[in-house]
Each structure stands twice: as C-alpha cells, then as structure tokens.
A and B are shown apart, each in its own frame.
Chain A
Amino acid sequence: MSAAAELSAADMKLDLAQVIGRIGTLPSLPAVILELIQSLGDDSVDTHLLAKKIASDQALVAKMLRVANSSFYGLQGKVTSIQDVIVVLGLRSVRTLAMAAAVTGSFTQRHAVPGFDFNVFWRHSMGTALCARALARRLKLSEENAFTAALLHDIGRLALAACFPAHLTAVLAWRAEHDCLSLQAEQAVIGIDHAMIGEALAAHWKFPLLIQESVALHHSLDGSEHSRLSGVVHIADGLSHALQFAEGEGFFVPPLCGAVWDSLALDEDVYQEIFSEVETQFEGACQMLVA
C-alpha cells in the first residue's frame, strides 16, 4: 500500500502550524545567500566583501562559474573567479545567479515524489522569471526583484514535496481524477495551498517582505491590497503557462485577475515582443538550473 493510501482523508488535512513546524526542519540557506537576498534592490553593497563571502562557499563558486561561462551569457571560458563574475555580469546578475543556484540546490532528487517532476517545475519557474523580468523592464520596476520573486513564486510546491511527500502524492492523484488545477486539488485534499506553504517557507528563509507577498498572493490578488511586484508575478505566471515552458500534468493557465491585467496597461505589440524575447532567452537561462 502506498504511503498516501495509508493516510485517511482526515490525516491529509494540514494546518499552517504543522507546515511551519516541518519547514523549520529544512536546512537553512547558506548565510551568504540570505544576505544576498536581503540586499535585493540595494546597489550600495560592497562588491569586494561580497566576492569574499561567496568565495567561502566552494560549491556555490563552482556552480556560479559554470553558469557564468555558459552560453546564456556568451562568455564561454572567460570567467575564472567570482570577482570576474561580479565585474562582467554586474552585482544584480550575481545576486540572482547566486540565489537561483542556492535555492535550486536546496531541493534535490532526494525529495522526489512520483508524478512530481523537478525539471518541469523549474522550467515553469524560469519561464515565469523571464516573463516577470521582461514585464518589469517595460513597467520601469526592479527587474532583479521581479526575476527573483517570480523564480520563487511556486516554492510552496517544493516544500510540499520535501516535507509532505505523501500529501503531495494524494494531491496529484486527486488532481488527475478530478481534472482541475493543482491549486484546487491542494485546497480539496490538504486544506491549504502551495501559495500559503510558500509564504511560510519564504518567511522561514527571511526573504524580503515584497517577495514573501508575491509568493503568498500569486493566485489571489482579487480584492487584496498588493504591490505592483505581486501583480507582475501573477501575470508572468499566466504568460509562462500560456507559452508552455513546462508541459505536464496539471499545467494550465490559472485564472487571471482582470484588474491587475488592466493595471499593467500594456499594448498587444508589447506582449508579442515579450513572448518572442522570453522564448529566445529561455533555453539558455535554464542552464542556470542544471549547471
């Protein structure tokens, strides 16, 4: 009998206190990554000190050098130190690169749950991050915040896989049986959803409040007060699904908030430009996830 089948329907219900307790057992992000994330948007960071801190984490250094030398940045073989990475790519790219490297590395195949594909998950997240960055550029918002918040918008799904694998198995089975969005299956089976779980994880990792809000609200902007960043992440999620960066069970365009869509006030020509730009960048950017 599967682990999921051994649990009764009542056992499947989770409350936030349980979630927060279990998330607390996940390893913390490296201190340097927490510092980087907390400094998002602050361009006055001492880059020498930053390079020194990153250099103390050899696994992170190796991963960042591999990514910086990948075809995405067009610098194959030219970048040999973290100082080079900062000089060539700039502080903002280094921050997003380090954060992406650390977060993707925190959830590995040891958290594998049948039916949940980490590769598909990260491809959707990267598609959303690129869409958010493209939207932010046109709306004159912080591209770095938009990219980071969107890359992390679904981290609640990862936390579900890592902390409650039997519950996720039951959610996936319910979704397949009832032909619905994953969000609806989560609410039906476990009583909470990945946005709430993601908010708890983002708080545990001490992400900036703006990013915590985007993770928490990316499916529920109707009637809630929210930042423009949360609006951008919500629409970017829709674009990423519509462009099918990740294909698999349960990948459908979720409901879009009309008020947020209208508030962006972008012309169709701009969206067509974004679709093309993001599709061109996508495969190269995904090297960030596997390097």
Chain B
Amino acid sequence: MNSANGERKIDGAAPDDAAQAVAARAQVEQRLQDLFRFAGDGEAARQLLRMVVEYRWRQGL
C-alpha cells in the first residue's frame, strides 16, 4: 500500500523497516546473481534463483 506521503511500504511495517528489508533482500539477490551468471536466462534458472533468494532471505542471510 502507499503511505500518506506517497511512499510505497510493506503492509504492517514502518517505512524505514520496509526500506531496510527491501535493501537487504536486494543484497542477497545481488550476491546470488553472481553465482548464477553462467546459468543462462532460461525460466528454470530464473525460478531457481528466486527460490534460493527467498530461502536465504528467510534464513536472514
């Protein structure tokens, strides 16, 4: 949802927390993208990358 000042935020989270969460997840994804750089651009590689990002994200890594 959008906050009063138009900033996008995650439901139930303070804007700062949500921004930090998004930034941290982006970091996880960036690190893993390097690992996948030779995996090609097929749907299988994309799905696996997304799943591993989600898994590491839940682990807080």
Write out the residue numbers on chain B whose beta carbons fall within 8 Å of the beta carbon of A256: 39-40, 42, 44-45, 48
Size range of the chain A interface in the assembly: 20 to 34
Q: Given A181-B38, A256-B39, are A239 and B48 neighbors across the interface (CB < 8 Å)? A: yes
Contact A242 B38 (CB under 8 A): no
Chain B residues touching A, majority SS: helix
Q: Is the CB of A272 within 8 A of B38?
A: no
Q: How far is the CA of A254 from the CA of B48 in the complex (A)?
A: 12
Q: Which of A235-291 contact B (CB under 8 A)?
A: 238-239, 241-244, 252-258, 260-262, 268, 271-272, 275-276
Decide: B44 and A257 in contact? CB cutoff 8 A.
yes
Chain B positions 4-58 with a Cβ under 8 Å from a chain A Cβ: 32, 35-40, 42-45, 47-49, 51-52, 54-55
Residues of chain B lying within 8 A (CB to CB) of residue A276? 55
**A123 vs B39: C-alpha distance in the bound complex, in angstroms?**
20
Contacts of A244 in B (CB 8 A): 35
Q: Which residues of B have CB within 8 Å of A253?
A: 35-36, 38-39, 45, 48
Chain A residues in 8 Å Cβ range of B54: 268, 272
B36 and A242 within 8 A (CB): yes
Contact status of A252 and B35, CB under 8 A, knowing A258-B43, A258-B44, A261-B44: yes
B43 (CB) vs chain A CBs: closest residue: A258
- Give the interface size bracket for B toward A: 10 to 19
Distance in angstroms from A42 CB to nearest chain B CB is 34
Instruction: Tell me which residues across on chain A come within 8 A of B37, comparing CB atoms.
Output: 252
Given A272-B54, A272-B55, A275-B55, are A258 and B36 also a contact pair (CB < 8 Å)? no
How many angstroms from the CA of A229 to the CA of B35 in the assembled complex? 25
Given contacts A258-B43, A272-B55, A275-B55, contact A180 B38 (CB under 8 A): yes
A260: chain B residues at CB < 8 Å are: 44
**In the complex, given contacts A238-B48, A275-B51, what are 16 additional A-B residue pairs having Cβ atoms less than 8 angstroms apart?**
A241-B35, A253-B35, A253-B38, A253-B39, A254-B39, A255-B42, A255-B45, A256-B44, A257-B44, A261-B43, A261-B47, A268-B54, A271-B48, A272-B51, A272-B54, A276-B55
20 residue pairs bridging A and B, Cβ less than 8 Å apart: A238-B44, A238-B48, A239-B48, A242-B36, A252-B37, A253-B35, A253-B36, A253-B39, A254-B38, A255-B39, A256-B40, A256-B42, A256-B45, A261-B43, A262-B44, A268-B47, A268-B51, A272-B51, A272-B55, A275-B51
